[in-house]
Amino acid sequence: MYFLNQSSVITGFGANGFDAGSAVFISLAGALVVEIILTAVFILTILVVTKDEKIKPNHGLIIGFALTAVHILGIPLTGTSVNPARSLAPAVFQGAAALNQVWVFIVGPFIGAAIAVGLYKLFYNEGASTEAVKREVVTEEERI
């Protein structure tokens, strides 16, 4: 189960980690930023792709590619969480060192998901933008 390297102290069971738990010894702040960005990208991909009915047969494929890309980028850095449940179980089995770090892999994805939802609502929420355009048109017509 354990690989014979220094990071195996924390990541032997697939637990996420930073500092000694990361293959590149990424810092706490770096791990948090990585988890936030990768989760935001993944969740935003899901939200945007599932909105478009024209590409419905390819939703799973596109989301799968996005998840693969997120993991290719994130595994060397933190082990890649983007899913708090995926981080918690290995940390429980790994023990104290991983449990001390698991909060980053719970908080980071929640912040990343909130950012993704905010960006989605800002750029893809047709209902709000349509209402704003209608109000603008009505205001313009009232001037005339």
Per-residue pLDDT band at 4 (split at 50, 70, 90): very low
Ramachandran region, residue 100 (left: φ > 0; alpha: ψ -120 to 50; beta: rest): alpha
User: Alpha-carbon distance 51 to 29, whole Å?
Assistant: 33
> CA angle at residue 41 from 35 to 47, to 5 degrees?
130
Buried b or exposed e, range 96-117, using 16+ CB within 10 angstroms? ebbeebbebbbebbebbbebbe
**Is the separation of the CB atoms in 70 and 78 below 8 Å?**
no
Q: What is the pLDDT of residues 66-85, one digit of tens each?
A: 999 999 998 888 888 888 88
- Mean pLDDT, residues 50-78: 89
**DSSP letter assigned to residue 80:** -
Q: What is the pLDDT of residues 21-49, one digit of tens each?
A: 666 778 878 889 999 999 999 999 999 99
pLDDT at 39: 95
Q: Nearest-CA neighbor of 13 among 94, 101, 85?
A: 94
